[in-house]
Amino acid sequence: MKYPRLLLVASALAVTAVACSQAPTENNAQAAKGSDAGIVLAAMDKSVTPGDDFYNYANGAWMKNTEIPADRSSIGGFYIADQLRERQTREMLDQILAANPPQGNDALIANYYRAYLDTEAIDRAGMAPAQADLAAIAGIQDKRALSAAIGRTLRADTDPLNATNFQTENLFGIFVTQGLSTPGETLPYLMQGGIGLPEREYYLSGDASMAAIRDQYRAYIATVLQNAGIPDAQAAAGRVMELETKIARAHATRADSEDFAKGATVWTRAELEQRAPGIDWAALLDAAGLAGAPKFQAYHATAIPGLSALVGSEPLQAWKDWLTFHTLNQQANVLPAPIRDAAFAFYGTALAGTPQQRPRDQLALNATSAALQDAVGRAYVERYFPAAAKTQVQAMVENIKTAFASRVEALDWMAPSTKEEALRKVRGIVVGVGYPDTWRDYASLQIAADNPYANQHAAGLYEYRHQIAKIGRPMDRNEWWMPPQLVNAVNLPVQNALNFPAAILQRPFFDPNADAAYNYGAIGAVIGHEISHSFDNNGALFDSTGRLRNWWTPADFERFQQAGRALAAQYDAYEALPGLNVNGTLTLGENISDVAGLAAAYDAYRASLNGQEAPVIDGLTGDQRFFLAFAQAWATKTRDESLRQRIATGSHAPGQFRALTLRNLDGWYQAFNVQQGQRLYLTPEQRVRIW
């Protein structure tokens, strides 16, 4: 399920982190250790002039010598951290399996893993685990029963890896948090969904490559339905494809999804039924456990009526085919080999260019971690995240918050009223480091050792019920939206809060024994990035309470937008593939956060030196090590198919361009003696300064 960035403003860390781990070669393992300064000297190409191509100066040897593994769509600087995370989780799981626990969280973990791993049992079971679901769909006789069936599919998947896109396979996405204009009041958000391709333009674009993907998707739908025993699967696939195309036409565009003013509409239950006829809302909401919700955040207020109208107008059989396909597609990883393999062939290879699927034990490990996030997370941090590391990172967070506040105070163009609210906001950010203060109770969750289909369904339903139980309650600003065992970080604008999971607080981002330049350039830039998301083109629309409101003077906001337009133009010029440029407008929030976050981290690093100059290590000054640590963190290689998908659907620029953020910092020019005439040189007036 995908949600807008106002709700979960995830770094692009996850784009490479979870997708890139592999067993390290001896050379990679040695290189990952870095020098005494933390910098991986073997990754550099010192024949390159820093001012001409800083990315390859920092990463050129790595780019030449690194191959994307066959079971990956990309590989990057974050893969080392996720390698370690996966090895740690593997070790932890092996200990749990050896103990063979009879009950408790460890028993849930062991059962989920064993059931998921046993593909022979999955293949023997065939479609039997799905028969009850398929029979229920086949028995739908009218639009009321259809509405109830759609309601039973709704889930609150809060995976922040998907937080930058705007659709779910379920007809509606449900997200539960503070309303955009109702501070302290928790509401269910209704969001557009219903499609199995990454984004509406995959259905509507006239581009030949998109047309080819549509043909492959239709063939995949037919394969799934045929293996499920659906008569005339080809015709059914055609009906699903035609219906999803109509659903896509009803969707808001990505640009509209980023417009928070359009998402701030709150509808009462009566207004929902009045403004979005077609669905039997009473049947849907009752089946979804939302019958008692008095009002809804209609985030996609233009799309919801269109989707509802399609339920009322499209043939019942088309909807039954659609429900059948998506019920199976969402469970494809625990269905027999013909469906599992077809799902990977389409989503893994056709869409992302990945030629080979990961080994089943690694898939099982990560599926268990995703399904039982707090159970796995609690066991993980007990073994692998020392209290001293948490204390050290918390101190860095406070230093970078202080540096950001100092930068705000120094702005000479900002009116006192705007500056006052900005300072209140940055000083009030709630920061979670490592893991949450309280853990989820899984006592009511049943996980069997021999039914992965039922397990996956049960885990999703458990999470959904946990989320909707928050409706009407005061917002918990300390709530976590990422598990500790995830290599990522997140900003939560409506909570004015940040999460930094334990798994990212290790090499290559953080080393408690490393040089300060390394830590501030690596994890410090991540911390600064997430703080700055509260002040990017989207986050800046929220005040210190997390309420969507305009706290700017008109002149201040125009100055802020002017800087944003300049940064967007800078990124528009970056060509990812021949004829395919970065979209500077759609990546603007991430790019603002990179610029402002790196600047704050640099200021905090300089302040940590207490007026002294850092020693020269490995021939590199402290400032040089800071900027190299940042650029090496964004080392990235991506398959063309995956890169095209990212440009089309993602809000993050590819890593090689994010590394060039430093072109906007004066300190980089001084550190590497970058001069006019070199390719990356920007005049002082061209350097974008935001915050």
Is the CB of residue 259 less than 8 Å from the CB of residue 6?
no
Same domain, 351 and 395: no
Model pLDDT for residues 651-664, shown as the tens digit of each residue: 899 999 999 999 99
In-domain check, residue 619: yes
pTM metric for this prediction = 0.88
Mean pLDDT score, 17-29: 31
* Structural tokens at position 138: 């086949």
Domain that holds residue 657: 35-71+386-434+507-672
* Structural tokens at position 198: 């990454």
pLDDT at 158: 60
pLDDT at 35: 55
CATH of the domain at 276: 1.10.1380.10
Which residue in this structure is represented by tokens 């080809």?
234
Alpha-helical (H) ranges within 385-427 are 387-410, 416-427
Same domain, 545 and 624: yes
Q: Which residue has the higher pLDDT, 162 or 280?
A: 280
DSSP code of residue 473:
S
pLDDT at 2: 36
Mean pLDDT score, 303-332: 98
CA angle 167, 169, 170 (to 5 degrees): 100
The CA-to-CA distance between both ends of the chain, in Å, stands at: 33
Model pLDDT for residues 155-181, shown as the tens digit of each residue: 985 643 333 344 578 999 999 999 998
Rounded Cα distance, 584 and 254, in Å: 14
CATH of the domain at 514: 3.40.390.10
Share of the chain above pLDDT 70, in %: 93
Rounded Cα distance, 669 and 687, in Å: 11
Model pLDDT for residues 432-469, shown as the tens digit of each residue: 999 999 999 999 999 999 999 999 999 999 999 999 99
Model pLDDT for residues 110-157, shown as the tens digit of each residue: 999 999 999 999 999 999 999 999 999 999 999 999 999 999 999 985
Q: Is the pLDDT of residue 340 over 50?
A: yes
Is the CB of residue 309 less than 8 Å from the CB of residue 277?
yes
Same domain, 283 and 411: no
Model pLDDT for residues 188-225, shown as the tens digit of each residue: 999 999 999 999 999 999 999 999 999 999 999 999 99
- Count the domains in the chain: 2
pLDDT at 16: 30
In-domain check, residue 550: yes
Rounded Cα distance, 383 and 380, in Å: 5
From 72, 63, 95, 59, select the one nearest 21 (Cα to Cα): 72
Mean pLDDT for all residues in the chain: 91
In-domain check, residue 376: no
pLDDT at 80: 79
pLDDT at 34: 52
Q: Is the pLDDT of residue 21 over 70?
A: no
Model pLDDT for residues 539-575, shown as the tens digit of each residue: 888 999 999 999 999 999 999 999 999 999 999 999 9
Q: Is the pLDDT of residue 9 over 60?
A: no
Cα separation values, 274 from 154, 191, 279, 282, 309, Å: 21, 17, 11, 12, 12
In-domain check, residue 409: yes
